[in-house]
């Protein structure tokens, strides 16, 4: 069972993504900001991170930079943002994201990316 | 309503609340960058949430708001009152939409115009010359790349009519996806209510369909008509997702293959009908080699006119012409078609594409790369997946080319490696993972991204990968290998920093708020249950009593009583705990005032500063909620009639800005809310005169009334002092409505005012109304309850001490005359009150407003805590009862409403 950590401050978005991912058979964990996400990432292993950009306390970039700075397994990360932040893609990649999706993304599109990144046929 | 929608609405309301608050705060500190960022985040997140649903009216406004706040946050647009006004209007509208969604599950079309208007009004503020901000439209990574031939055998497309294939080929060039769908219904499908023929025919985007028997047909006599042995083959332009959706109840019965457009190119017809023009083939290939499409088309057209249209030759020529038209640069494919004239064999596009590397020297065309063997993927890979894969790979290439970020470079590279290996596994190219791992190890050892980039070049050719729409600006530098920091350095640096920065933070336990949102109904249920426990436990003393008196087991009686003490304690604690859950801070009602005061005072041209104190004071939810409307009314009154216009205030020597203070405090078991203004106060003379004019008081009262009493006349029913009825507070309801509302929840209201100095209104409410302490009395053989709040004292009065004054009874208690009333008479019971042995009557003295009244009853009983259930249904009309409660012995106690009774 592949584990995915959803990092987003909006409960609605978390629920949306959780529903999609769980219906596709993934195990989902949630964090509401970068700090909480980092705690979880350091405590348990995930196969993929889905990270929102704009969050209180520690934003998505900060989370990824800290995460990638740790000597732990480094699973791929999808950064999920809205159009308003679309210009920030390069920053996302520089921070350690491996894919970039605009929300709201279609469930199929999201799953295609998840499948490819996690590596399931 | 789905849980997701519920979640959305609940969160949306929180955000709207937050946005309102932040705007209010910004008003006081318009330059606070942090506030602005917060505000932006709220609007932004709310918009993001709304985008998950199909609420264009809502998203449009929020999007405009988000862009506006983004502009403000970045200093492109200055914050202004105007801006706050419009944003608040917009948020009110969003709130309205939320209500609408909650009610109807959707937004009515009626809101579209308003949504457009509000959106435009917000955008108008952004469009400062030269900095017009449009919603930055950025396409999600999607690609119009054509599907890729699969290594699996292609379906027998050549059996399809040429016309159909040509039409499909054109559609494919217009960007439509092409799928070959095989639908194999279960043999017993008729019994499960399937209609395979209908199902197949209704498939979206069908271009062609065929039905084939799965096995040889048995002899006619043996055919089982109830067994489905048919396969359906369809060529459709529906996307993979649409097909999956359409066949979602029978996913195991379909097989769909993405069809590359070129696979449709198959000449068909009579191969023997005419000579093979070798000359033509040679000449055509020659022309093709020169890239002279015009001549080639001309030659093909001439040849076509000379040929019988049913011949293979003619068919091949028609395809050639179509290719020249739609893929003029795909010389390879055109060549293949021309070559087919020689052997008149079905073109094996897969074989052809396998040859593709040999023509790599030639300028690569899109079509050729599409045929590149590297791109061969398992049949389950859809065009969408192919596109995403291409984009992902391009992105990883770009990431490897990024400037080095010392602290997290290693992590970033390793994440790229996991991404790539994920991609390989996803396209079932596991055999290549070993290569990737070798390259990764090399990259990590050499501290250079070069091995990885090399590997990428070898395994995912650059050209074949569609330029990822999501790729960052600075393109991957294929040539310049990026130097990665020595692995150990990075590691130690990363660890060191991580420990310093985060080791501590993690321990700080930044856990989110440990609170739950619970539906009101659930708490109400708990409340009812605890109410029942309280009642049930009250049965124990009763049982103990019976054990002793009726059955004579004193020992058991004592044990029951001991157990009762335990249960009683637990029940009380439980009751307290549940009460605590129901407690809400008064800020719940206070929070609407900043906005209300601001809006109204502006409308009236007054300057009013609002001071809120003790917002954290808590009281029962019902109390807090019942406080809302009276408070609004009082505040409106104060703004409307209390505060003077700034010039008047200045003339009176007061600061032009008035101060309205709303203060909440807790005094023993009551919450006290004070609303104080420093306005013009209430003139007792004016009030007296008004009251007299309206016939509320007579002449003698008019002279006798103290100023304090006069001022309190505003609470009298039918009193309104406003000279002009304004649209704000003068709505025909006065302070009497406020008083009634407060008294309904056992509250009290008091007002004192000093002319010229201001007015103070004091509301005192119980902390909780869930449990009522009532006294049980007996009258005419029945028991009734009376709220202890009303009870002043219980006395026994000798019959001889009761006087009859003007035909009503009264007695003197501690030097005061107390009117007496018989409860039986009030309840319409004929029986006279029963006296005790000493001929004394039981008198329950109750408070009735400022007065005390004695109720003649038969006997007093104990006091009990009960959960008062209001009368429902027809009984609700019985005003003399405030409700009922269940007693320990199972009987029902009617609780009297003293005020109504008198």
Tens of pLDDT, residue by residue over B666-695, are 887 788 999 998 888 888 888 788 778 877
B372, pLDDT greater than 80: no
> pLDDT tens digits for B459-486?
776 544 444 444 344 433 333 333 333 3
Q: Residue with structure tokens 């917000």?
A: B122
How would you write chain A as a 3-class SS string? Answer: CCEEEEECCCHHHHHHHHHHHHHCCCEEEEECCHHHHHHHHHHCCCCEEEEECCCCCCCHHHHHHHHHCCCCCCCCEEEEECHHHHHHHHHHHHHCCCEEEECCCCHHHHHHHHHHHHCCC
Q: Which residues of A touch B241 (CB under 8 A)?
A: 108
Q: Which of B502, B504, B507, B508 is the best mutation test for A, with the most CBs of A within 10 A?
A: B502
- How many C-alpha atoms does B31 have within 13 Å on its Cβ side? 0
Nearest CA in chain A to B388: A113
- In the prediction, which pLDDT does B212 show? 84
pLDDT digits (tens), chain A, 121 positions:
789 999 998 888 888 888 888 888 888 999 998 999 998 888 888 999 999 888 888 888 889 888 888 888 889 999 888 755 556 777 888 888 888 888 777 788 888 888 888 887 5
Local confidence band at B34 (pLDDT 50, 70, 90 cut-offs): confident
Asked if A15 and B399 come within 8 Å (Cβ–Cβ), the reply is no
Q: What percent of chain B has pLDDT over 70?
A: 83
Burial class (CB in 10 A: 0-12, 13-18, 19+), B849: exposed
Kindly list the residues from chain A whose CB atom is less than 8 angstroms away from the CB atom of residue B51.
82, 103-104
Strand partners, B777: B784, B860
Helix (H) / strand (E) element for B547: namely helix B520-549
Nearest to B407 among A65, A98, A104 (CB): A65
- Contact predicate B803/B813, CB 8 Å: no
CATH 3.30.565.10 fits B586-766, yes or no: yes
Task: List the beta bridge partners of residue B179.
Answer: B236, B258
Do B48 and A36 lie within an 8 Å CB cutoff?
no
Do A99 and B392 count as a contact with CB atoms less than 8 A apart? yes
pLDDT in the model for residue A48: 92
With an 8 Å Cβ cutoff, are A98 and B416 in contact?
Answer: yes
Query: CA B134 from chain center: how many Å?
Result: 26
Q: What is the ipTM of this complex?
A: 0.81
Distance from CA of B264 to the nearest CA of A (A): 27
Q: Which of residues 521-560 of B touch A (CB under 8 A)?
A: none
Q: Give me the residue label for tokens 């001490």.
A: B801
Mean pLDDT for chain B overall: 77
Q: Chain A residue closest to B504 (CA)? A: A39
What span, in angstroms and rounded, lies between the C-alpha atoms of B294 and B296?
Answer: 5
A-chain residues within 8 Å CB-CB of B416? Answer: 98
| CA nearest to B478, candidates B396, B363, B388, B358 | B396
* B399 contact residues in A (CB cutoff 8 A): 93-94, 98
H/E stretch holding B341 reads helix B331-343
In this prediction, residue B620 carries a pLDDT of 85
Give A104's contacts in chain B (Cβ within 8 Å). Answer: 48, 51-52
- Euclidean distance between CA atoms B95 and B494, whole angstroms: 47
Report the distance separating Cα B381 and Cα B476, nearest Å.
26
Instruction: Give phi and psi for B449, each to the nearest 5.
Output: -85, -5
* Chain A environment of B472 (Cβ under 8 Å): 89-90, 93
Backbone phi, then psi, for B312, in 5-degree steps?
Answer: -55, -45
B422 contact A CB<8A: yes
Sign of CA dihedral B326, B332, B334, B340: negative
Supply the pLDDT for residue B797: 87
Q: Does B473 touch chain A (CB under 8 A)?
A: yes
Find residues 136-155 of chain B whose CB sits inside 8 Å of chain A.
136-138, 140-142
Would you state the pLDDT for residue A5? 93
CATH of the domain at A58: 3.40.50.2300
**Chain B residues touching A35 at Cβ < 8 A:** 505, 510
If residue B893 lies in a helix (H) or strand (E), which one and from where to where?
strand B892-896
Shortest CA gap A45–chain B (Å): 14
For the cut 80, the answer to whether the pLDDT of residue B198 exceeds it is yes
Judge: A96–B506 Cβ closer than 8 Å, yes or no.
no
Residues 6+ apart with CB under 8 A from B357: B372, B373
Find out whether B327 and B261 touch, Cβ atoms under 8 Å: no
CATH class of B157-216+223-264: alpha beta
- Is the bond preceding residue A104 a cis peptide, omega within 30 degrees? yes
Strands of the sheet containing A77-81, edge to edge, are A27-31, A3-7, A48-52, A77-81, A99-102
Domain that holds residue A106: 3-118
Residues of A in contact with B383 (CB under 8 A): none
* CA–CA min distance B6, chain A (Å): 9
Tokens of B27: 């008003």
Report the alpha-carbon distance of residue B894 to residue B868 in Å, rounded.
9
Residues in chain B: 902
Cβ–Cβ < 8 Å for B710, B688: yes
Tokens 């996307």 belong to which residue?
A: B239
User: Which of B39, B510, B517 would you mutate first to test chain A, the one with the most A CBs within 10 A?
Assistant: B510
Nearest one of B778, B781, B719, B783 to B751, comparing CA atoms: B719
Q: State the Cα–Cα distance between residues A90 and B71, nearest whole angstrom.
A: 21
Residues of chain B with Cβ-Cβ distance to A98 below 8 Å are 392, 395-396, 399, 415-416, 419
* pLDDT tens readout for residues B105-152: 778 777 877 888 888 888 888 775 443 334 333 333 333 333 333 334
Residue B862's CB: how many other CB atoms inside 10 A? 8
> What residues of chain B, 744 to 783, have a C-beta less than 8 Å from chain A?
none
Q: Is B327 on the interface with A (CB under 8 A)?
A: no
B354 in A contact zone (CB under 8 Å) = no
Distance from CA of A34 to the nearest CA of B (A): 10
Alpha helices in B694-761 (DSSP H): 699-704, 707-711, 735-744
The CATH architecture annotation of domain B3-126 reads Up-down Bundle (1.20)
Out of B380, B405, B428, the one facing A94 most closely (by C-beta) is B405
CA distance A25 to chain B (A): 16
Query: Residues of B numbered 50-89 whose beta carbons fall under 8 angstroms of chain A's beta carbons: which are they?
Result: 51-52, 66-67, 70
pLDDT classification of B720: cutoffs 50, 70, 90: low
Locate the chain A residue with the closest alpha carbon to B382.
Answer: A112
CA distance B426 to chain A (A): 4
Query: A80 to chain B: nearest residue by CA?
Result: B48
Greatest CA separation for chain A = 37
Domain B771-901, CATH number (from 3.30.470.20, 1.10.10.10, 2.40.50.180, 1.25.40.10): 2.40.50.180
B297 burial class (0-12, 13-18, 19+ CB within 10 angstroms)? Answer: middle
Mean pLDDT of B322-328: 83
Q: Do B398 and A119 touch (CB under 8 A)?
A: no
Chain B partners within 8 Å of A38 (Cβ): 502, 505-506
Query: From start to end of B650-789, where are the E strands?
Result: 658-667, 670-677, 748-754, 758-766, 771-779, 782-787
Contacts A–B by Cβ distance under 8 A:
193
Query: Which pLDDT does position B502 carry in this prediction?
Result: 41
User: Predicted confidence band at B380 (pLDDT cuts at 50, 70, 90)?
Assistant: low
Q: Nearest CA to CA, how far is A55 from chain B (Å)?
A: 8
DSSP H helical segments within B584-731, as ranges?
587-590, 593-604, 621-637, 646-651, 684-693, 699-704, 707-711
Question: pLDDT-derived band of residue B277, with 50, 70 and 90 as boundaries?
Answer: low
Nearest C-alpha of chain A: how many angstroms from B519?
17
- pLDDT for B427-466, tens place per residue? 777 777 888 888 888 877 776 777 788 888 777 765 444 4
Question: Scanning every residue of chain A, which has its alpha carbon at the shortest distance from the alpha carbon of B427?
Answer: A121
Chain B residues with beta carbon closer than 8 angstroms to that of A33: 510, 512
Residue B660 banded pLDDT, cuts 50, 70, 90: very high
Q: What is the tens place of the pLDDT at every residue in B598-613?
A: 888 888 888 889 999 9
Task: Tell me the per-residue pLDDT of B64-111, one tens digit each, with 9 for 90 and over.
Answer: 888 888 888 887 888 888 888 888 888 888 988 888 888 887 787 778
pLDDT at B135: 38
Distances (CA, A) of A109 to A101, A103, A104, A114, B389: 9, 11, 10, 9, 11
Q: What's the rounded Cα separation, in Å, for the pair B226 and B242?
A: 30
Q: B753, B675 in Cβ contact below 8 A?
A: no
Q: Do B423 and A119 touch (CB under 8 A)?
A: yes
Q: Is the minimum CB–CB distance between B49 and chain A shorter than 8 Å?
A: yes
Q: Are B382 and B260 in contact (CB under 8 A)?
A: no
Domain count, chain A: 1
How far, in Å, CA of B476 to CA of B141, rounded? 18
DSSP B307: S
| Angle of CA points B44, B49, B50, to nearest 5° | 100
Is the minimum CB–CB distance between B484 and chain A shorter than 8 Å?
A: no
């Amino acid at each position: 069972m592949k584990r995915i950590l959803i990092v987003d401050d909006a409960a609605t978005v978390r629920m949306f993504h959780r529903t999609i991912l769980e219906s596709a058979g993934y195990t989902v964990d949630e964090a509401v900001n970068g700090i909480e996400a980092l705690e979880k990432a350091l405590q348990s292993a995930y196969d993929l991170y889905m990270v929102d950009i704009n969050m209180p306390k520690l934003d998505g970039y900060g989370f990824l930079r800290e995460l990638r700075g740790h000597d732990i397994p480094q699973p791929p990360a999808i950064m999920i943002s809205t159009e308003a932040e679309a210009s920030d893609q390069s920053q996302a990649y520089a921070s350690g994201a491996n894919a970039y999706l605009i929300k709201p993304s279609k469930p199929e599109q999201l799953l295609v990316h998840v499948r490819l990144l996690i590596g399931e046929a | 309503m789905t849980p997701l929608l519920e979640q959305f609405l609940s969160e949306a309301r929180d955000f709207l609340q937050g946005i309102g608050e932040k705007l209010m705060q910004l008003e006081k500190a318009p330059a606070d960058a942090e506030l602005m960022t917060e505000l932006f985040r709220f609007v932004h997140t709310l918009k993001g949430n709304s985008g998950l649903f199909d609420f264009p009216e809502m998203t449009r406004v929020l999007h405009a708001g988000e862009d506006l706040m983004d502009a403000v946050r970045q200093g492109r647009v200055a914050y202004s009152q105007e801006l706050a006004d419009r944003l608040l209007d917009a948020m009110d509208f969003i709130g309205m939409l939320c209500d609408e969604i909650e009610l109807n599950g959707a937004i009515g079309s009626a809101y579209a115009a308003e949504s457009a208007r509000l959106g435009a009004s917000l955008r108008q503020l952004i469009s400062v010359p030269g900095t017009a901000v449009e919603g930055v439209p950025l396409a999600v990574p999607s690609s119009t790349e054509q599907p890729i031939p699969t290594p699996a055998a292609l379906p027998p497309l050549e059996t399809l009519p040429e016309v159909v294939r040509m039409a499909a080929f054109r559609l494919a060039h217009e960007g439509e996806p092409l799928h070959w769908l095989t639908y194999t219904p279960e043999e017993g499908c008729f019994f499960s209510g399937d209609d395979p023929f209908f199902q197949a025919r209704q498939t979206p985007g069908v271009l062609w369909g065929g039905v084939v028997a799965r096995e040889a047909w048995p002899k006619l006599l043996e055919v089982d008509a109830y067994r489905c042995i048919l396969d359906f083959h369809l060529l459709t332009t529906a996307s993979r997702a649409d097909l999956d959706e359409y066949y979602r109840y029978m996913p195991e019965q379909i097989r769909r293959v993405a069809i590359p457009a070129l696979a449709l190119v198959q000449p068909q017809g009579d191969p023997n009908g005419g000579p093979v023009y070798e000359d033509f083939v040679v000449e055509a290939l020659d022309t093709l080699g020169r890239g002279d499409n015009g001549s080639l088309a001309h030659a093909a057209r001439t040849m076509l006119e000379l040929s019988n249209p049913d011949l293979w030759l003619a068919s091949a020529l028609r395809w050639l012409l179509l290719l020249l038209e739609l893929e003029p640069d795909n010389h390879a494919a055109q060549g293949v078609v021309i070559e087919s004239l020689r052997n008149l064999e079905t073109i094996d596009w897969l074989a052809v594409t396998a040859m593709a590397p040999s023509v790599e020297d030639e300028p690569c065309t899109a079509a050729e790369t599409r045929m590149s063997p590297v791109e061969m993927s398992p049949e389950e890979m859809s065009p969408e997946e192919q596109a995403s894969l291409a984009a992902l790979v391009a992105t990883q290439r770009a990431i490897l080319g990024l400037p080095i970020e010392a602290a997290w470079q290693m992590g970033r590279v390793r994440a790229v490696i996991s991404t790539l290996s994920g991609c390989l596994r996803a396209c079932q190219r596991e055999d290549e993972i070993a290569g990737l791992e070798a390259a990764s190890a090399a990259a990590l050892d050499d501290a250079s991204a070069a091995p990885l980039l090399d590997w990428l070049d070898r395994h995912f050719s650059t050209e074949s990968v569609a330029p990822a729409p999501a790729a960052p600006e600075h393109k991957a530098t294929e040539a310049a290998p990026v130097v990665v920091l020595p692995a150990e350095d990075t590691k130690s640096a990363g660890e060191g920093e991580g420990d310093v920065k985060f080791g501590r933070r993690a321990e700080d336990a930044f856990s989110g708020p440990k609170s739950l949102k619970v539906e009101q109904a659930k708490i109400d249920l708990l409340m009812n249950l605890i109410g029942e426990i309280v009642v049930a436990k009250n049965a124990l003393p009763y049982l103990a009593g019976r054990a002793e008196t009726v059955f004579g087991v004193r020992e058991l009686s004592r044990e029951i009583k001991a157990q009762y003490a335990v249960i009683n304690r637990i029940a009380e604690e439980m009751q307290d705990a549940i009460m605590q859950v129901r407690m809400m801070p008064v800020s719940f009602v206070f929070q609407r005032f900043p906005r209300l005061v601001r809006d109204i005072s502006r409308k009236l041209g007054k300057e009013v500063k609002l001071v809120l104190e003790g917002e954290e004071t808590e009281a029962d939810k019902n109390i807090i909620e019942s406080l809302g409307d009276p408070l609004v009314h009082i505040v409106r009154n104060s703004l409307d009639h209390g505060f003077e216009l700034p010039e008047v205030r200045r003339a009176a020597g007061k600061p032009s800005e008035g101060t309205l203070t709303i203060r909440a405090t807790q005094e023993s078991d009551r919450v006290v809310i004070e609303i104080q203004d420093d306005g013009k106060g209430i003139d007792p003379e004016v009030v007296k005169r008004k009251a007299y004019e309206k016939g509320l008081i007579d002449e003698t009262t008019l002279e006798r009334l103290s100023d304090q009493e006069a001022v309190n006349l505003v609470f009298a029913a039918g009193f309104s002092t406003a000279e002009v009825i304004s649209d704000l507070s003068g709505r025909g309801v006065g302070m009497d409505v406020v008083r009634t509302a407060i008294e309904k929840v056992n509250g009290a209201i008091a007002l004192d005012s000093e002319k010229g100095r201001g007015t103070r209104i004091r509301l005192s409410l119980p902390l909780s109304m869930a449990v009522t302490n009532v006294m049980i009395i007996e009258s005419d053989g029945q028991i009734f309850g009376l709220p202890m709040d009303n009870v002043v004292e219980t006395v026994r009065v000798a019959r001889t001490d009761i006087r009859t004054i003007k035909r009503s009874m009264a007695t003197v208690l501690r030097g005061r005359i107390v009117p007496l009333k018989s409860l039986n008479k009030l309840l319409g019971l004929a029986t006279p009150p029963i006296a005790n042995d000493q001929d004394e009557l039981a008198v329950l003295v109750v408070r009735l407003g400022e007065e005390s009244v004695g109720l003649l009853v038969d006997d007093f009983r104990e006091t009990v805590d009960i959960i008062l259930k209001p009368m429902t249904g027809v009984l609700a009309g019985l005003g003399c009862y405030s409700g009922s409660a269940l007693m320990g012995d199972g009987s029902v106690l009617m609780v009297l409403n003293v005020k109504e009774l008198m």
